[in-house]
A = this chain, B = another copy of it.
Amino acid sequence: MDISVDCVVFGFDEDELKVLLIEQKQPDGKSAIKLQKAVPGDLVDENESLDQAAQRILLELTSLKGIYLKQFHAFGDPDRVSGLKDRDWLRSFRTHPERRVITIGYYSLVKMDDFNPQAASFAAKAQWVDVYKIPSLAFDHNNIVDQALQVLRHELMADHIGFELLPEKFTLSQLQKLYEIILDKKLDKRNFRKNIMRTDTVTPLEEKQSGVYHKPAQLFKVKRPRKTT
């Protein structure tokens, strides 16, 4: 049996919660394979831990280190790879195409700001897709993304990890919008601010927004160093 790791990478662009999807790689020489979109993932190497494998995948794809990354579930149905297109792809791409693959799901939070500069280098193979408009994906990846989103919602409330998706400097309105989009419901502005302040994870900078067409907002940064798994 083979073990792989799949990473559901979340990003946020002021307006939408996004997931990073790749096109499956085109096997050399063959071109008759129908490619599908998928979540980035790879087989675990002989000498790396699961966490390391997830980091490696993320690093190869985004050139970013020290990103929030967390294991959330193992997917091991014998028929999780059952689609015809999935099997075609495996046959032309894997050294052991018939081997069963069990995958460990990770989810990851990246600041799209840090990310975009690098985008050109892999733009052809990776793209951000609105989490609420995900197309049909390879293997059982739709299921994996769904579960990742559930876990993200839960951990957002429990551990206030939302900052991981925002730039270093952010306004409370941006933060609130992030919460609203992830949780998919509206929040009260005053109560939201009280709550965030009470968690004591955020400090105001000596700096305000500029160049906006309305009263400029106070900028904040995260207080405590953030966890990286």
Q: Return the contact of A1 from the options B2, B51, B73, B78 (Cβ within 8 A).
A: B2
CB atoms of B77 and A74 under 8 A apart: no
A57-86 near B? 1/0 per residue, CB < 8 Å: 000000000000001011011100000000
Q: Closest B-chain residue to A2, C-beta based?
A: B1
Closest-CB distance, A173 to chain B (whole angstroms): 31
- Given A1-B44, A2-B1, A3-B3, CB of A76 within 8 Å of CB of B50: yes
Residues of A within 8 A of B (CB): 1-3, 44, 46-51, 71, 73-74, 76-78, 100, 102, 104
CA distance A207 to B76 in the complex (A): 45
Q: Closest B-chain residue to A102, C-beta based?
A: B3
CB atoms of B1 and A48 under 8 A apart: no
> In the complex, what residues of B have CB within 8 A of residue A74's CB?
50, 71, 74, 104
CA distance A161 to B32 in the complex (A): 51
CB atoms of A76 and B1 under 8 A apart: no
CA distance A100 to B49 in the complex (A): 11
CB atoms of B3 and A78 under 8 A apart: no
CB atoms of B78 and A48 under 8 A apart: yes
Closest-CB distance, A140 to chain B (whole angstroms): 12
